[in-house]
Amino acid sequence: MTFAIATEQGSPISLRVRLISSVAVALLVGVAFIPRDPDIFYAPQMAERPVILPDGARLYVQKYEVTVTEWNRCHADGACTLALQVPANRDATTQPATGLSYTDVSEYLRWINAQSDATFRLPSLHEWEFMAAPVLPPEPDPIFTDPELTWASAYLVEPQTKRTLRPQGSFATTNEGIVDLNGSVWEWTQDCYAGASDGEITPDRCPAFFVGGEHVAAMSYLVRDPARGGCAVGTPPAHLGLRLVSDRPVN
């Protein structure tokens, strides 16, 4: 009789446990299929307002250049080959990530897009020049008019490059809230520089890309240090970094 009572009393408990377990599994399955929003931890801080391009399109731009802290998250995840360090007296959360080649930047783009479920890219040269124009110094008149001396004229009249790497927020801010476009970091663009090559070259075969800064230059896709690697076109930049843009709002 005692055994029978235990069985009768145990059955409802057993059913209740199975019911609770089934509900829990259903909830977990439901959560798994809920669309994932961009990961806030990885999403960069964007400028307060988009850049309105001449054709009316909106370009959503990262407020600051990618920092050392942001870059090293990519390295920690095994997606970026290069690990960056900062001097003891600098803050990695505000130090721009520099010493980056186009190949390095491509690794970061693949990683951030996978982690944040967003569609970040590099700006085109036209986009970069348009959004930076309000804070860049006016282009000086050339010293030489002979086309063969264009390189010499450009070299002599280009503004003195600010080579000291400074924390984010050390330079001008545009009306949209984009900071440091006129700073000491030249930012990679997606536009290829192929020199005198005939025909169109795809990005995966491009030998050099334009970088935007105090002046426009073109750098080999493998160069991390402009002072050592040389410059395909223009005076060598001070530092090479990146800033992300998107064609749609980033939450």
* Domain spans, the chain: 1-34, 51-246
Sheet arrangement for strand 245-246: 51-52, 58-61, 245-246, 120-121
- pLDDT tens for each residue of 55-93: 999 999 999 999 999 999 999 999 999 999 999 999 999
Give pTM, 2 decimals.
0.76
Residue 194 has pLDDT above 50, yes or no: yes
Residue 222 has pLDDT above 50, yes or no: yes
E strand or H helix at 209: strand 208-212
Per-residue model confidence (pLDDT) at position 33: 39
Residue 94 has pLDDT above 50, yes or no: yes
51-246, CATH topology level: paralog of FGE (formylglycine-generating enzyme) (3.90.1580)
* Beta partners for residue 77, in sequence order: none
Average pLDDT of 2-19?
A: 46
- Taking CA atoms, 99 is separated from 74, 165, 178, in Å, by 15, 11, 22
Per-residue model confidence (pLDDT) at position 148: 52
Sheet arrangement for strand 217-220: 217-220, 208-212, 185-193, 239-241
With a pLDDT cut of 70, the percent of the chain lying above it is 70
What sections of the chain are H helices per DSSP? 2-32, 68-76, 102-116, 125-132, 150-157, 226-229
- Taking CA atoms, 184 is separated from 1, 134, 173, in Å, by 88, 17, 14
